Chains A and B, each alone.
Chain A
C-alpha cells in the first residue's frame, strides 16, 4: 500500500492556460474523489468516480473542469482556460467500496493524497 499519489505537487501557470493533474489511488480502491481547497476553508467536493463511472459532479464546477478515470484506475483532472480564482489545492482521495454494516447503512473511509497546489498568475 503506497498511498494515494498526486502529481505534480505544485503547478504554476498563466491565466488562460490549460492544466492537467493526475491522481493514482490506492490499488484496488474503486472509488475516487476530487476535492478543491482554498486557504482557511475545508475541502470542497468536485466530483467522484466508482470504477470508471463518474457518479456525481458538483454544480459549482464550471464546464472548464473535466475529470476522467478511463480504466477505473488513475484519474486526471483538467482545467481549461485557467482563471486566477482556480488557484487552490486540488486533493484526490480514494476508498474501497463502502462496506455495508446493516440495512442501508454504509461505512466509508477516504485516503487522501498530498494534493496539487495550483497557482494561476
Chain B
C-alpha cells in the first residue's frame, strides 16, 4: 500500500498560490494519486486525481513527475474558504485508499 508523507501544516495569505507536495516513494504502478479536502465536521471531498504528468480542473492542478514518487497539489489564488486539511492518497481499484495525517492549510487575510 502506498504510504504518503506530507507537511503537517502550511500557512498562506489570500490571493497567493499554494503548493502542497506529497511524497509516495512506494506507490504501485497501478495506483492513481488522489487529493481530498476536508473541513471540520465534514467528510473528505475529492479535489483532483491523476496518474502522471499534469492534471488541471476548475479548482486545482496536480503535477506528477515521471518517477511518480511525489506529487504537488497547486491551489491558485487561495481564499479564506480554502482553509482545510488536504490529504494525498495513492491507491484505488484493487488497492484500498489509505489516508495519512494530511496537511493543515491555514489561509490568512
Contacts and interface: CB of A to CB of B under 8 A. Distances in A.
A43 interface: yes
Contacts of B91: 108
Given A48-B96, A107-B49, A109-B49, A42 B102 contact: yes
A115 B94 contact: no
A42 B32 contact: no
Given A108-B32, A111-B46, A115-B42, A101 B96 contact: no
B94 A105 contact: no
Nearest to B34: A109
B81 interface: no
**Which one of B41, B44, B45, B94 has the highest number of Cβ atoms from chain A below 10 Å of its Cβ?**
B44
Instruction: For chain B, give the interface size range.
Output: 20 to 34
Nearest to B31: A105
B32 to A, nearest CB: 5
Q: Of A92, A104, A106, which is in contact with the most chain B CB atoms at under 10 Å from its CB? A: A106
Looking at chain A's contact residues, the main secondary structure is strand
Contacts of B102: 42
A28 interface: no
Q: Tell me which of B36, B43, B99 has the highest count of chain A C-beta atoms within 10 A of its own C-beta.
A: B43
Q: Name, among B51, B87, B97, B102, the residue most crowded by chain A CB atoms within 10 Å (CB to CB).
A: B97
A104 B30 CA distance: 6
B100 A106 contact: no
A93 interface: yes
A104 B92 CA distance: 11
A114 to B, nearest CB: 6
A81 B44 CA distance: 28
Interface string A68-87: 00000000000000000000
Contact of A45 (B30, B36, B41, B98): B98
A110 B102 CA distance: 17
Contact of A104 (B29, B43, B97): B29
The 8 closest A-B pairs by CB, nearest first: A106-B93, A112-B43, A108-B92, A42-B99, A98-B93, A104-B30, A43-B99, A105-B30
Interface of A: 4, 33, 35, 40-45, 48, 56, 89, 91-93, 98, 100-101, 104-115, 117
